[in-house]
Homo-oligomer: A and B are copies of this chain.
Amino acid sequence: MPEARTSTPRERYRTQVRAEIKEHAWEQIATAGASALSLNAIAKRMGMSGPALYRYFDGRDELITELIRDAYRSQADAFRAAAGSGADLAGLAHALRAWALEDPQRYFLIHGTPVPGYHAPGDITEIAAETMTVIVDACAALASPGGTAGAFDAHLEDHRQWAGDHPAPSPVLHRALSFWSRLHGVLSLELAGQFTGMGFDPALLFEAELKDLIGP
């Protein structure tokens, strides 16, 4: 006998259909990009008429926002899983690259061209901030960066609230930002196919950037 009925069959059906819609949406995004996402096409592929989807999503924008939210969550999960199993900063980097290669358009959905005027809901930026914390923690666990502290380190001393006022010294925060921006640099170029036809292996450039990041 089922005792804790926390959801009615209707609710289950509803969430199931919502999930199916998102599944088709991801498929469509992966093959044609987010700008080509069509509610109508999804509905037809699910065997129902266009307006039916509006029972499940307020519109195209809400669906895309939901996909963005899922993408952020998936990325955060990948980071947490890596950090949870004892990965250091290099481990995080490899987890990020694997996650990105898994679905390039998913990566671009959150790190790609921004739509002017669009602002992500608060809960999304929260997830992003949490991800950043994982990175900063991994940077703090590393041997502190050598070399002389530059102007940016001094500047970061006074502007560290983005890291939740993490107790790490500013060169650590600096390294976290470099980690983020450099890996995003190689990854986005690789995923965009800018290296195809150039001959060299993007994985090795990624590795070289990572080594340079951790080394000194």
List chain A positions with a Cβ less than 8 A from chain B.
30-35, 105, 108, 111-117, 150-152, 155-156, 159-162, 174, 177-178, 180-186, 188-189, 191-193, 197-201, 204-205, 207-209, 211-212, 216
Contacts and interface: CB of A to CB of B under 8 A. Distances in A.
A108 to B, nearest CB: 4
Given A189-B181, A201-B155, A116 B209 contact: no
Nearest to A29: B116
B155 A200 contact: yes
A207 B198 CA distance: 28
A185 B181 contact: yes
State how many copies of this chain the complex holds: 2
B112 A116 contact: no
B193 A209 contact: no
B192 A186 contact: no
Contacts of A199: 159-162
Contacts of A193: 114
Nearest to A153: B208
Contacts of A208: 150-152, 174, 178
Nearest to A118: B33
Contacts of A151: 204, 207-208
Contacts of A115: 33, 35
A116 to B, nearest CB: 5
A110 to B, nearest CB: 10
A205 to B, nearest CB: 6
A14 B85 CA distance: 64
A192 B114 contact: yes
Given A161-B199, A207-B152, A32 B116 contact: yes
Contacts of A152: 204-205, 207-208
A31 B114 CA distance: 12
A13 to B, nearest CB: 33
Contact of A116 (B105, B185, B207): B105
